[in-house]
Chains A and B, each alone.
Chain A
Amino acid sequence: MQTSDSWPVIFPDYKGVTVPPDIAPLNFMLTGDFDRCSVEISGKDQKITRYFRGRNVTIPGASWSKLIYGNRDGSIIFTVAALKGRIWKKFKPFAIHITDEPADDYLVYRLLMPGFQNWNRMGIYQRSVSGFRVRTVLDSRIMPGTCMNCHSFPGNDPENMVLHLRESYGGTLLYTNGTLEKLTTRTGRMFASAAFPYWHPSKRYIAFSVNRVNQIFHAAGPYRATALDLRSDIVLYDVKEHEMKIPPQLSAENKFETFPCFSPDGKKLYFCSAEEKKLPAELKNTRYSLCSVDFDEETGAFGSVTDTLISSHATGKSISIPRVSPNGKYLMFTVSDYGAFPSYNPEADLWIMDLETGQYHPADSINSPETESYHSWSSNSRWVAFSSRRSDKLFSDIYLAYMDKDGDFHKPFLLPQKDPEFYGSTLFSFNLPEFSVRDFPVDPYRLAKAAKSRSSLQVQPETGTH
């Protein structure tokens, strides 16, 4: 056997990553042609050795779980060898670090083929973090022709849930306290239905952005499409009163306001705001600032003054998708050169703001030269799931990254799959990853029945906001 000084080239690249103590087996494939390969995974008092035909390493679940659980707060070492012709080559061993802090049990995400406007299969699915089991929340098999987006749960708990549907069977599905209803959210002077949601921690309110989105297409170069947010406001839905408030400070005539996000204590709403521009002509000059406004849970009223936390004039960048860690210490957001839909911008990166000091910076250790966009915090504020197009610039995949007690991110890892070749052949993008602490409580047929229902609850405008 030859011994190599170099690490094996593997996909996904799990070398040196930090994983939760209950992660599914990190199956991978060796890059290159090999007849056989072997892996020895060793930790404290335990070892797994397996041989495989070809180049794919698939680790048995039971042994893997035992091994990583026994090595919490430590590391395990992978020693990989590969056979080509008659020569075995043993690569330099690499480590994987295992924290003692788990991520939430599930990830809920949307799958669709990435590219342009249309889709023929789309669905929202729940994937177990500790295994490979995937459960359908809702998909095109049950609801053909319906666009499903923006599934949102307060505190990562799907016991309360809102889901926006468009095209066939359009509407907003709201699940609260075991009751599922379909809402018609457009009311009063709203110019469209409510779209991107964020729950207030009290579960009494949901802040929505209302957007008029159009997609346009690049004639040249590697960029395919761009989405334009031609108009946007933020509204507040009162779940108890079935009322929609349209706060004037979040629906100004000369501004685009979008991406609402409540702080974990519920006293502040973060959002993104840009000066109104003529689109698409001024698209590249449309940049969103990060803003906040006080919120009073008792009255459901926003403060009269909005604060600009990060000004687009100062940074020359555009901010989107602010998300506060559940412990209230950090705010993660996406930064791109322009616009409100960073998934179309290859330069889009994740940034982090320390809410105590107000300092912010790019989260370099988890970014790549390609798009990073949507992100979700685990309920213990230690893990972030985010979508990235880094593998091929087009298909979004879900990466998980650990944030340590010092607020530093460790090397992220691609959500493992049973078949290491999965990502090479799937025609689906994974987007809108949301952590979830429990199994999704609503049966897909029940969701579909509610969505297909002809009757829906017409949300009423708050008195005085007609």
Chain B
Amino acid sequence: MQKNKALGNAVILFSGLFFAGIFVFYAFFYNSHLHFEEQFQLHLMTWDWLLTRLSLPGGFAGYLGSFLTQFYFVSLAGPVVIVLLLATLTIVVKKIFSKVNSTAALFPFTFIPALLSAMILCNEFYPLSAITSFLIAMTGAMTYVSVTRRDRRAIAGSVLIPVTYWLAGGAFISLVLIMIVYELILRMRSSGTRSVTGDIPGLKPISFWYFVVYVVLGLAVPLVVRQYLVMQPLMITFLSEFYYKVRTTIPTAVIVLFILPPVIMLILYTVRVKENRVTLAAAAAILVFAAIGFLGFRNFANFSAEEIMRYDYLVRSRRWDDAVKYAERNPPRNFLSLSMLNLSLAKSGQMGSRMFSFPQRGDNGLFIPFNKEYVAPMMGNEILYNLGFVNAAQEYVFESMETIPDMGKSARALQRLAETNLINGEYRVAGKYIDLLGKTIFYRKWARNARNYLNNEDKIDKDPDWGEKRKFAITEDYFFSIKNIEASLAMMVKAHPDNKTAFEYLMAFYLINKDLRNVLYLVPVMEKMNYREVPVAYQEALMYVLGLNSNDPMKNAPPYISQATKERMQAYAGIYTSYQDAETRLKKNFSGTYWYYLHFGKLVRSDDSEKK
């Protein structure tokens, strides 16, 4: 009795720790992945949208998945959704497994499908609908194993297969396997090969012919659907499109997930725990569980991607200062992150002062070259938009949306397209996008507000963001290419010298490329910028040029060069000119200076490719 109570407490503790762990992981260590997922989908709360989904195999689960994914918009709601979904899955799975072996000590086995599901969700290519589909199939399996009369169970099985296929798509495979394994176990039980440990002992198995019926149904239903109802490739016919975002790839992890429950059922059927070994068995099961969890998360979680997504999320949310603070803790490790940091520095007025405090490696850290995929163009659009290249931002964001692997649309992209069309005065197109966003839950409010701007030139002109973009609009058309960004920026700065972000980007471009001649050309523009204090990197660059061209740079320095910069340069020059290992000596106190970058910074040219 006491042992049972202790075991009961262990189950509660284990459940608490498991689900709390998943919540903490997704809320605090992997939250940007959820935002990333959410922004690349568009879930409309309309009957049409629902019917479109329901007309596809697996569409119900797909609808449910994208409905729930919407809630990822709110940082903590996403982890709650995941935990609730996995908790429901665990309860359902427990009911199935208990029919085979109800030994309490083996409770960790019931958490394994939820554990694998949690791991799968770490990969942004696996949508939440992979789990909602699986849950639907497990609910079907739970229904099946709870039918005690074999004739009714046979009928239930024959109905559940097509119904589950239509509602959940490929997870019906798991249902069919569970049904077959369950019946096999019942057969073995009835033949007396094993002692009975399940909840409902003494059940009679269905006739062998029903096995054949199940298999035939499992093969025939998808093929009939493919031939007469929904045109799709063979793999998608059996699996449906809601398990993996790349439709031409077999999603191995979900296949493992499908096979897992019947395999565990067989394991549970074979395992017998003696009364005096309950604690040991529970401990061993927990150990195995923990090992799977550790290795699995290590394999599935991608923290490099999480870092990029974090930068992107902060930029998208215009939390410029937070992005800079994040960079102080997690310096960018690639161009995507670096470009988001640089944009944040520019928008928070710190670019000229602090950009060399972070590891600059070339102008790919300023502008993201165009790639035919969906991540880089989405992030690149933010840079171009904030510089005032509205049409180029529009192109980038469009291309991003049209390369989303699951062929869906993106709420974030539509929002930006609505903005660019509003700015360009294309109200009918903007209205179309705004109407669509008005049919969502989390973009509805934004759409309602944006609708007030349609056909209202004055209101747009006065808007701090859209009005500014209009103010900095390019008046003389040319063909934009990111490869010629320097010329585009120069034209922008010439036409709109008050576009401070564009000016600082152009300066940054020259500074990063160590092009001091062009830095000097920009000094007159800089002098008109009314800086209260000229950014430190500019001061350092100018002092460097003065140092090369003047006998007494300290004396000849323009008034906006601060005394601190002069003193810092003297100190830097002292070490630089005196020691052969100057790089090492200077690193500690001068690695954030432009001089250090100029002398020791490694420049990766634009045309050098970088693997993401």
A391 within 8 A of B: yes
Given the complex, which residues of A lie within 8 Å of B233, measured CB to CB?
141-142
Question: Which applies to chain A's interface (DSSP): helix, strand, loop or mixed?
Answer: loop
A445 within 8 A of B: yes
Q: A112-120, A176-184, A374-382, A434-442: which one contacts chain B?
A: A112-120
Taken together as a complex, chains A and B put the C-alpha atoms of A116 and B403 apart, in Å, by 12
A406 within 8 A of B: no
In the complex with contacts A219-B392, A444-B231, A115-B398 CB distance below 8 A: yes
B432 within 8 A of A: yes
Taken together as a complex, chains A and B put the C-alpha atoms of A427 and B433 apart, in Å, by 9
Given the complex, which residues of A lie within 8 Å of B425, measured CB to CB?
222
Given the complex, which residues of B lie within 8 Å of A280, measured CB to CB?
479
The reply to whether A427 and B409 form a contact with Cβ atoms under 8 Å apart is yes
B235 to chain A, nearest CB (A): 11
B90 within 8 A of A: no
A228 to chain B, nearest CB (A): 9
Interface residues of B in 482-535 (CB under 8 A from A): 488
Q: B331-339, B352-360, B455-463, B468-476: which one contacts chain A?
A: B468-476
A144 within 8 A of B: yes
The reply to whether B407 and A117 form a contact with Cβ atoms under 8 Å apart is no
Question: Which applies to chain B's interface (DSSP): helix, strand, loop or mixed?
Answer: loop
B277 within 8 A of A: no
Given the complex, which residues of A lie within 8 Å of B476, measured CB to CB?
220
A221 within 8 A of B: yes
The reply to whether B435 and A425 form a contact with Cβ atoms under 8 Å apart is yes
B402 within 8 A of A: yes
Interface residues of A in 207-234 (CB under 8 A from B): 216-226
B480 within 8 A of A: yes
Taken together as a complex, chains A and B put the C-alpha atoms of A249 and B231 apart, in Å, by 45
Given the complex, which residues of A lie within 8 Å of B429, measured CB to CB?
392-395
- Residue total for B at the interface (Cβ-Cβ under 8 A): 40
The reply to whether B475 and A220 form a contact with Cβ atoms under 8 Å apart is yes
Given the complex, which residues of A lie within 8 Å of B479, measured CB to CB?
216-219, 226, 280
The reply to whether B402 and A115 form a contact with Cβ atoms under 8 Å apart is yes
Q: Name the residue of chain B whose CB is nearest to the CB of A423.
A: B432
A346 to chain B, nearest CB (A): 11
Interface residues of B in 180-219 (CB under 8 A from A): none
A143 to chain B, nearest CB (A): 9
Interface residues of B in 247-276 (CB under 8 A from A): 247-248
**CB contact between A222 and one of B408, B424, B488 (< 8 Å): that residue:** B424
A121 within 8 A of B: yes
Given the complex, which residues of B lie within 8 Å of A394, measured CB to CB?
426, 429
The reply to whether A119 and B391 form a contact with Cβ atoms under 8 Å apart is no
The reply to whether A393 and B426 form a contact with Cβ atoms under 8 Å apart is yes
Taken together as a complex, chains A and B put the C-alpha atoms of A280 and B484 apart, in Å, by 15
Taken together as a complex, chains A and B put the C-alpha atoms of A327 and B488 apart, in Å, by 52
A353 to chain B, nearest CB (A): 32
The reply to whether A424 and B432 form a contact with Cβ atoms under 8 Å apart is yes
B325 within 8 A of A: no
B285 within 8 A of A: no
B372 within 8 A of A: yes
The reply to whether B391 and A224 form a contact with Cβ atoms under 8 Å apart is yes
Q: Name the residue of chain A whose CB is nearest to the CB of B56.
A: A141
Taken together as a complex, chains A and B put the C-alpha atoms of A140 and B233 apart, in Å, by 10
Given the complex, which residues of B lie within 8 Å of A202, measured CB to CB?
none
B395 within 8 A of A: yes
The reply to whether A113 and B402 form a contact with Cβ atoms under 8 Å apart is yes
B400 to chain A, nearest CB (A): 9
The reply to whether A120 and B407 form a contact with Cβ atoms under 8 Å apart is yes
Q: Name the residue of chain B whose CB is nearest to the CB of A121.
A: B407
Interface residues of B in 416-435 (CB under 8 A from A): 424-426, 428-429, 432, 435
Q: Name the 10 nearest CB pairs between A and B, nearest first.
A: A392-B428, A220-B474, A118-B402, A219-B480, A120-B407, A216-B479, A115-B398, A220-B477, A394-B429, A118-B399
12 extra interface residue pairs, beta carbon distance < 8 Å, beyond A118-B402, A224-B395, A226-B479 = A113-B402, A120-B408, A139-B231, A219-B389, A220-B474, A221-B424, A222-B424, A393-B429, A394-B429, A395-B429, A425-B436, A427-B409
B interface residues (Cβ-Cβ under 8 A, vs A): 48, 231-233, 236, 247-248, 372, 389, 391-392, 394-395, 398-399, 401-404, 407-409, 424-426, 428-429, 432, 435-436, 473-481, 488
Of the A-B pairs whose beta carbons lie under 8 Å apart in the complex, a sample of 5, sorted by A's number, is: A116-B395, A118-B398, A118-B402, A393-B428, A393-B429
